[in-house]
Amino acid sequence: SAVISQKPSRDICQRGTSLTIQCQVDSQVTMMFWYRQQPGQSLTLIATANQGSEATYESGFVIDKFPISRPNLTFSTLTVSNMSPEDSSIYLCSVEDNRDWTQYFGPGTRLLVL
């Protein structure tokens, strides 16, 4: 299975600032996904990121708030912009294995906004 890393693993940020989260995978993958998990809640998909095209955002998520880059087949970033305390969550990257279409998840980035 794909091995996925995320940076940072956790951060504490001030409201109004932005944080960029990096996701690195050890093999080339077509599909990458970004999820959010708010405290005590299940995972919610933010967007799908394909290399060479604009990310596709789910209802309730917009590019201005969560800009995503996908410069190559092993890397993606998610930026949480103009943060507020409501953005305090775990942000998770996942990839779809090109061989069996199974999705694998990174360890997550724990964000606390004060």
Partner 1 sequence: DAKTTQPPSMDCAEGRAANLPCNHSTISGNEYVYWYRQIHSQGPQYIIHGLKNNETNEMASLIITEDRKSSTLILPHATLRDTAVYYCIVRVAGLTGTASKLTFGTGTRLQVTL
Binding site for partner 1 (CB under 8 A): 1, 4, 30-31, 33, 37, 42-45, 48, 50, 56, 90, 92, 94, 96, 100-108, 110
Omega into 107 within 30° of 0, i.e. cis?
Answer: no
CB of 41 to partner 1, least distance (A): 9
Q: Which is nearer to partner 1, 19 or 93 (CB)?
A: 93
CB of 34 to partner 1, least distance (A): 11
Taking every pair of Cα atoms in the chain, the longest distance, rounded to a whole number of angstroms, is 42
CB of 92 to partner 1, least distance (A): 6
Give the SS3 label for residue 86.
helix
